[in-house]
Each structure stands twice: as C-alpha cells, then as structure tokens.
A and B are shown apart, each in its own frame.
Chain A
Amino acid sequence: EAQVTQNPRYLITVTGKKLTVTCSQNMNHEYMSWYRQDPGLGLRQIYYSMNVEVTDKGDVPEGYKVSRKEKRNFPLILESPSPNQTSLYFCASRRRGADTQYFGPGTRLTVL
C-alpha cells in the first residue's frame, strides 16, 4: 500500500531534550516536506526537500533541522525543543511534476 508513515504518533517531552520524528514514504517520491499545524493558523511549511541531499527552508524553520540521506526518509530533528514547538506535525511527499501531495498520519508533540 502506498503510504507516508511517521513515528512516533504521539510524544510528550521536556524542554531541551533532543528528539527526532521520522518520516518514510514507499512511493519513490522526490519531493518531501514537513508542516506544523496549529489552531487558527492552518499548516505552515517547516522544511522541504526536492531530492536526496537537497533541502531548503520553508516558512517556519527556526528550531528545526532536517536531513535527506535516502530518498524514502526525511527525519525532522528538534535539537532543543521548546514549549512553542508543541504542535501537530505532518510529513508529506509527492512525485516531481505531480499535483498530488500525500500526507502522513501526523505526530502530536507536546513539549513541557
């Protein structure tokens, strides 16, 4: 089944404790992206990647890092999480040149 997976689905952590949210897609898509969703703000793009080893900042990259060492994986790294990073995070992917973007199930992160 074609899908985007994220882990963990839920995470409660404390300020300053480094964490990684994994994202993996099995559709051989070139383009992957991370979004955060906050009430009243819709989805905001954090980082995106156009292919392996090619990443760029979205609208809200501060406090986040990403890497794209393999085509299927696009982990989101929070080196020193803060409470304002409490949010619902979505990973997404699409084939280059295609319209349809596929979203993962989401990761709900709480930073205390």
Chain B
Amino acid sequence: GQQVMQIPQYQHVQEGEDFTTYCNSSTTLSNIQWYKQRPGGHPVFLIQLVKSGEVKKQKRLTFQFGEAKKNSSLHITATQTTDVGTYFCAGFSGGYNKLIFGAGTRLAVHP
C-alpha cells in the first residue's frame, strides 16, 4: 500500500538554528498537508500544498511540494523554543478521503 516516509525521526537544534524535515511518498500525491503536534497535544493543521513545485511561506516556515508530487519539505528558519513539537506530513492519494500520515519528525530546541 501507499507509504509516506518522513526523515529525520528526531532533530535537536540550538535556538536560532534552521530545521528541515523531509517527506517522501511511494506514490504520486493529490496534495500534501503539514501538521504540528505539541507535546501532549493534538495535531494542528498548518498548510496544504496542491500544485507541483508549489512553495508557501508562513512567517519563518517554508513549505515545498516536489515537481513530481511525491516529496515535500518543511523548513523553519531561526528556530525558537515555541517551535518544539512533532511535525507530520500527510498525503491524499487518489481522492480526498484517505489521508496517509508520515511517522513525524520530533523537534527539540535548546535555548
């Protein structure tokens, strides 16, 4: 079945350093979504990318969708302690009902 792989599993950074998480799908995705889950919390929707090669920015966060619509990345510039949490990508394939999540990247930010 379809798989969405996410790397790295963990990332520790010093506050102010940049952070990137990568997402790869075994199949072409209709679109991809990114979520953030704070420790002890629930996933919170960040953004959805639909078009091949699409790049979207939210303040210090930059999201990219690959040209082949099989990979995506989330880059955080100058991390802050408020960025701590697990970041998940999730893709729809062949429709908009079944959402396949990556295993997530847990980000720790040291002050």
Contact = CB atoms under 8 A, between A and B. Distances in A.
B59 interface: no
A33 interface: yes
Contacts, number: 49
A106 interface: yes
Given A59-B1, A90-B43, A41 B100 contact: no
Interface size classification for chain B: 20 to 34
Contacts of A35: 101
A68 interface: no
Contact of A103 (B42, B98, B102, B103): B42
Contacts of A103: 42-44
Interface in B52-111: 88, 90, 97-104
A101 B33 contact: yes
B20 interface: no
Interface of A: 31, 33, 35, 40-45, 48, 50, 56, 58-59, 90, 92, 99-106
Interface of B: 1, 6, 9, 33, 41-45, 47-48, 88, 90, 97-104
